[in-house]
Amino acid sequence: MLLDGSGQMVDCIGFDPTLRELDVADDLAFLVMDLVARGGEQLAQTLVHAYRDAGGNPGRDALIAFFAANRALVRAKVALLRAAAQAPPSSAARGRQNAAARDLVALAERFAWRARLPLAIVVCGVPAADKSTLEWALAATSGLPHLNSDATRKQLAGIESHQRAPAALYSAEVSRRTHAELGQRARGAIAIHGGVLIDATFRHRADRDAFAAAFSDAAPVLFVECRAPARVLAERAVQRDQSPARVSDASVAVVVRERSSFDPLDEVEPEAHLTVRTDRPSEAVVAELVPCSMGASVGSRGSAHAKRPARDAAYGSRPRRGATMTRRATTRADEALIIVDLQQDFCPGGALAVGGADQIVGEINRLAAASPFVIATRDWHPPNHGSFASEGGPWPVHCVRDSPARSSSGGSTAIWWT
């Protein structure tokens, strides 16, 4: 604003000095998020590296990724609120705001995956269990690089990935070499990217041992074993065999044989082994794996804790019981449930209601009851905040300090606060 003929910057949160204090990682993550959202991934990495080289200490890359995920979600929320308040439901402006919000939510998911690193996810199971489909869906959500045992096997043999391989290429010795190579490549991916996805049957213990020896303790490993009914496996094998773009050479006969001779993953700690049904949309499986990936805390050979890389490779929920999961990941003592800005005014009937917002309260209560540590944050405003319509701003009066509207939902939807 102009004061005495010169421009002066006025802090919009000047009413409370404590709100001007911010974690440097949070502040840096805001710019990191903006850069990545605009296609400046390399610029974001340069920014963080330069900040550290200049003597700054924003914490680990996982912390920056965590704050960046939060910033992206806040911006998505603002986009949705602005669309609801300013644009008619069927207008082009509403559509653009909703699309922008979806992109920001997807960006937040990628940053959330970076906050989990280092981590390797092995998608295993018999042929035709739809491992590759799940791996591609995970790659699209997480942004992590992915490796495939069939492609690696054929690369080592010097043949094209879509070319049929001779039976000798599937001998026990070649399979061990292939899985050892997978382990080395996965280790390299961890060093560069902090995480990796591996698509392989891992049906024999000897192959898993070869992978583990090469991968060593590069990162914790989560085994996701894909299963499907025999009828579904056979149908997939037939369809895949007719596709010119196939990489796997497994026929229906191979699927039947491997299904009956799969070595159980008994050497893998239960906290690092999830079994999922893949005769359903891959998006549903990914939705269940995301929270369970937070519980992965064992090393590649089942040790209690794998060593983390010496430095971050890139700056980058609680496990819950799923209908198709055979095991629920265990709670770790260093986990926390963080509830961000859930208030009455954002629930149906509130001044700034978001449709269906109250539907998550029951799940939050269940998670909070089982969580060793719960952090609940609520943003509030003074009665005359400049963003309110009564003060010339765009928003109705909401979440005013010490008012019922800024509290958690009451009655049957009360939130646990600890």
Give tens-digit pLDDT for 179-193: 999 999 999 999 988
What pLDDT was estimated at residue 163? Answer: 72
Same domain for 279 and 372: no
Q: Which of 115, 135, 160 is the last residue of a domain?
A: 115
What pLDDT was estimated at residue 307? Answer: 37
Same domain for 92 and 142: no
Same domain for 25 and 81: yes
Same domain for 356 and 266: no
Res. 123 pLDDT band, cuts 50 70 90: very high
**pLDDT value at 290 more than 80:** no
Res. 320 pLDDT band, cuts 50 70 90: very low
CATH (domain of 395): 3.40.50.850
Give tens-digit pLDDT for 124-145: 988 777 788 888 888 888 889 9
Q: Which of 115, 147, 169 is the last residue of a domain?
A: 115
**Calpha distance 222→116 (Å, rounded):** 12
Same domain for 276 and 355: no
pTM, two decimal places: 0.61
Distance of CA 31 to the CA centre of its chain: 20
- Output 363 or 302, whichever has higher pLDDT: 363
What pLDDT was estimated at residue 411? Answer: 33
Same domain for 136 and 80: no
Note whether residue 213 is domain-resident.
Answer: yes
Give tens-digit pLDDT for 242-263: 665 555 655 656 666 676 678 8
Res. 161 pLDDT band, cuts 50 70 90: low
For residue 350, what are the domain limits? 336-418
Q: What is the CA radius of gyration of the chain?
A: 25
Q: Which of 86, 115, 144 is the last residue of a domain?
A: 115
Give tens-digit pLDDT for 35-57: 999 999 899 999 999 999 999 88
Same domain for 132 and 208: yes
What pLDDT was estimated at residue 5? Answer: 66
Same domain for 346 and 268: no
Res. 376 pLDDT band, cuts 50 70 90: confident
- Determine the Cα angle at 388 with ends 344 and 12, to 5°: 110
Note whether residue 50 is domain-resident.
Answer: yes
Note whether residue 366 is domain-resident.
Answer: yes
Domain count, the chain: 3
Note whether residue 303 is domain-resident.
Answer: no
